[in-house]
Amino acid sequence: MGISGQEIIIIIIVVLLLFGADKLPEIARTMGKGMREVRKATDEIKREFDESTQDIRKDINEVTDTFRKDITDVTDSVRKDMDAAASPLSDEINDTAQDINRDIK
DSSP codes joined into one string, 51-93: HHHHHHHHHHHHHHHHHHHHHHHHHHHHHHHHHHHHHHHHHHH
Q: Which amino acid is at 71?
A: I
Q: Which amino acid is at 43?
A: D
Query: pLDDT at position 64, please?
Result: 94
Q: Specify the pTM.
A: 0.42
pLDDT-based confidence at residue 1 (cuts at 50, 70, 90): low
**Boundaries of every domain in the chain:** 5-104
Neighbours of 27 (CB within 10 A): 14
